[in-house]
Structure 1
Amino acid sequence: MMRIELVKRPQRSALFSMLSPFIAFALTIIAGAIMFALLGVNPLNAFEIYFVEPISQVWQLHELAIKAAPLILIAVGLSVCYKANIWNIGAEGQFIFGAIFGSIIPVLFPQFEGPLVIPLMLLLGMVGGAFYASIPALLKTRFSTNEILTSLMLVYVAQLFLDWLVRGPWRDPQGHGFPQTIQFGDSAVLPELMPDAGRANWGFVFALVAAVAIWLMMSRMLKGFEVRVLGSSPRAGRFAGFGFNRMVFFTFLLSGALAGLAGISEVSGAIGQLQPVISPGYGFTAIIVAFLGRLNPLGIVAAGLVLALTYLGGEAVQSALGISDKVARVFQGMLLFFVLGCDTLIHYRIRLIGMALMKPNGAKLEAAPKLEEAR
């Protein structure tokens, strides 16, 4: 019998660490070509429709920016969590709660108009996302619960709460029974960047500003150093006087606030009202974006654009080739698989260990074979 072990490499390859996202993307393309061939579609034609046609016109680039903005905002916040070795998987729920909190003004106080409406909505959105993220942070620091499970389970609570709101107390009385709120007023709609060219709004600018700000924090400020130290060596961080519980709250609140900002930006910009489903899974896709960007805020901008393209490509192949738009989810899943697989093999080597076979009475049947390593 053989046992497989992962052994940490004493020194990882800097070259392969840098090339890992590109290798993962190339492997995803190969696997995607096989998938399209099995579906009876010419892979080259499918890839042209999937990756080229969705960005061939100016208005389509605006659509790309709309899709990329929430992915970048959420992923930038998650990158800080993951750098600190704290696992916030519930950004989707924080996205939803940010949208709910930010929508309080246009839904409950539609008569309130003026230049302060949008800033207050954005602020409430960030507060809502941070509030919802504080729940798994509190549970982890107070009761040592697993933040992966609590943050993930809270996603479904948020989805059901939003569904209840738009079907119940917040439903538009003139909406002919449809589960949705009233349309936001003009003062509550996020302005478009270039109205004559497309629908892209200020949410994309917020994403770029957040990416630069977090990059500066992580690379130039003491707080970023604290995040990196506690993430790589919690014991060294404690000796340096860095509090782990404080870091749990800081990373959760920061990532939750950015997810909430993404939520209210999406609702006030691209949608214009609350409805039962306001996200195609941005909070989960942003996890892929964070790792594809190597947890670097500037790399996350590029990764966000690539993953946004998979959403547009999924819609394009559905209309042009009659393939389910779920092919986008397949691409995203394969990309995450190959990213994590490449990173694992860069940091670890596989060791096959031979195990001695035993007779029923406990005597050895044969000697264990020698160790064999796959380098």
Structure 2
Amino acid sequence: MPLRLEKRPEPSKAMLYLTPVGAVLLTAVIGMIVFSLIGYNGVAAVREIFLTPLTNPLKWQDLAVKSAPLIIIAVGLALCYRSNVWNIGAEGQYVLGGLAGTGVALLTRDMSGPWILPLMVVAGMAGGMAWAFIPALLRTKLKVNEILTSLMLTYVAIQLLNYLVLGPWKDPMGFGFPQTRMFTADQMLPRVVPGTIIHLGAPIAIVVALVVWFVMSRSVFGYQVKVVGSAPYAARYGGFSVNRTIWMVLLASGALAGLAGVLEAAGPFGRMVPSFPTNYGFTAIIVAFLGRLHPIGIIFAGLALSIVVVGGEVAQTTAGLPPAAVGIFQAMMLFFLLASDVLVRYRVRWRSPVTAEATA
């Protein structure tokens, strides 16, 4: 009996925003079962992952630090996805942003002044834009799929990072470790909450989300992005250029990913190291969809994903979970979110062969 998807009436906004909550709850339940089946205490593992980061005040600062790059990158990805442009290479743009900011830091190592950090930020955003420039050019000029080009450029960025920290940027006083020199005080993000690790990147992430929300909801550019993504032929009829929109959203997304990269380099890392790629760019894809591609929703989704990341680190110590546990939770969350999206908009119908032939 063949399956058929039939479109439902347009779902309500309440239904659309409740399904991510259902996806998170279902992830918790299934995760509990899976970890119990493979020999771990599933209840304790899920409790550590979802509750400990919220109930332990010492973990709140970790949530703020880890959610900041996720929110910034996901907001940029939401711009692309709303316009039906599929940037999958935010991780590479994040790495290039960190490298560009580090380059400025190394060049200004013997200098001082409040202008250095803003220059690093500008360089980081330019680095992310440069890495997004390539898939934008290939998409608009040669019709090359941006999914493949942006994704493959991620691995080029990682190899470039390894070459630099193992070669010309390697700290001569680093006892052979592949890393750059530590940033100076003028090159580091200031702490916004004394006595914690919460740096300036956390409020910047909130400001970025609010600015993009205002632009998307109150400007011609935001309207253009929505029209090009939902009805490209109507957009052409209305005078909106699809290629120009592709350029704008990819460069904006790359700039925000580069911003996240330079803020991480000047914040938690304080230098460039081979472990700088932390999959923020890939995790931000989940954040973008979990937040319904809405900048305000992305703020809450970024916090939700950071809870999973921080809780997963706690569970590795307390419940003995393997390091891949966080990846399992993220994958399940994305799967259930996408499944819920389909089921909200479509209903599954079983059709007998006779009925199928009669309606063919």
Unaligned runs of 5+ in 1: 356-367
Aligned length: 358
The letter for the 2-side match of 1:160 is Q
How far residue 185 of structure 1 moved from its aligned partner, in angstroms, is 0.8
CA distance in 2 between counterparts of 1:136 and 1:353 reads: 43
Question: Is the 2:108–2:116 contact (alpha carbons within 8 Å) kept by the matching residues of 1?
Answer: no
Question: Is the 2:209–2:299 contact (alpha carbons within 8 Å) kept by the matching residues of 1?
Answer: yes
CA distance in 1 between counterparts of 2:277 and 2:4 reads: 39
Question: Is the 1:352–1:371 contact (alpha carbons within 8 Å) kept by the matching residues of 2?
Answer: no
The letter for the 2-side match of 1:247 is T
Residue 94 of structure 1: aligned partner = 93
Residue 66 of structure 2: aligned partner = 67
1:343 matched to 2:349? The reply is no
Residue 109 of structure 2: aligned partner = 110
Residue 203 of structure 1: aligned partner = 201
Residue 253 of structure 1: aligned partner = 251
- Cα-to-partner distance string for 1:229-269 (whole Å, 9 max, x where unaligned): 11110011000000000000100011110100000000100
Residue 174 of structure 1: aligned partner = 173
Question: Is the 1:353–1:371 contact (alpha carbons within 8 Å) kept by the matching residues of 2?
Answer: no
**% identical aligned pairs:** 46
Point out the more displaced range, 172-181 or 343-352.
343-352
- Cα-to-partner distance string for 1:201-238 (whole Å, 9 max, x where unaligned): 01111100000000001111111011111111001100
* Aligned residue among 214, 220, 223 for 1:222: 220
CA distance in 1 between counterparts of 2:124 and 2:356 reads: 59
The letter for the 2-side match of 1:164 is Y
Greater C-alpha Rg: 1
* Aligned residue among 319, 331, 334 for 1:333: 331
The letter for the 1-side match of 2:240 is F
Query: 5 Å matches for 1:349-368?
Result: 349-355=347-353, 368=354
User: What is the RMSD of the two structures over their aligned residues, measured on CA atoms?
Assistant: 1.6
Point out the more displaced range, 56-65 or 229-238.
56-65
Query: 5 Å matches for 1:187-202?
Result: 187-196=186-195, 198-202=196-200
Residue 78 of structure 1: aligned partner = 77
CA distance in 1 between counterparts of 2:54 and 2:11 reads: 37
CA distance in 1 between counterparts of 2:161 and 2:302 reads: 26
Question: Is the 2:158–2:277 contact (alpha carbons within 8 Å) kept by the matching residues of 1?
Answer: no
Point out the more displaced range, 33-42 or 129-138.
33-42
Unaligned runs of 5+ in 2: none
SS in 2 for 1:103: helix
How far residue 370 of structure 1 moved from its aligned partner, in angstroms, is 5.3
The letter for the 2-side match of 1:113 is S
The letter for the 2-side match of 1:105 is V
Point out the more displaced range, 146-155 or 318-327.
318-327
Residue 30 of structure 1: aligned partner = 29
Point out the more displaced range, 274-283 or 248-257.
274-283
The letter for the 2-side match of 1:139 is L
Query: 5 Å matches for 1:264-275?
Result: 264-275=262-273
CA distance in 1 between counterparts of 2:56 and 2:343 reads: 39
Residue 151 of structure 2: aligned partner = 152
CA distance in 2 between counterparts of 1:47 and 1:349 reads: 31
Residue 286 of structure 1: aligned partner = 284
Query: 5 Å matches for 1:109-128?
Result: 109-128=108-127
Question: Is the 1:106–1:112 contact (alpha carbons within 8 Å) kept by the matching residues of 2?
Answer: no
- Of Structure 1 and Structure 2, which has the larger fraction of its residues in helix? 2
Residue 238 of structure 2: aligned partner = 240
SS in 1 for 2:131: helix
Give the TM-score taking structure 1 as reference length: 0.92
How far residue 168 of structure 1 moved from its aligned partner, in angstroms, is 0.6
How far residue 39 of structure 1 moved from its aligned partner, in angstroms, is 2.9
Question: Is the 1:74–1:283 contact (alpha carbons within 8 Å) kept by the matching residues of 2?
Answer: yes
Residue 363 of structure 1: aligned partner = none
Alpha carbons of 1:270 and 1:17: their partners in 2 closer, same or farther (altered >3 Å)?
same
CA distance in 1 between counterparts of 2:89 and 2:215 reads: 23
- Cα-to-partner distance string for 1:3-46 (whole Å, 9 max, x where unaligned): 33333334334442231111111211111111121133333322
CA distance in 1 between counterparts of 2:107 and 2:345 reads: 52
The letter for the 2-side match of 1:18 is Y
- Moved beyond 4 Å, runs of 4+: 369-372
Give the TM-score taking structure 2 as reference length: 0.96
Point out the more displaced range, 105-114 or 79-88.
105-114
The letter for the 1-side match of 2:328 is V
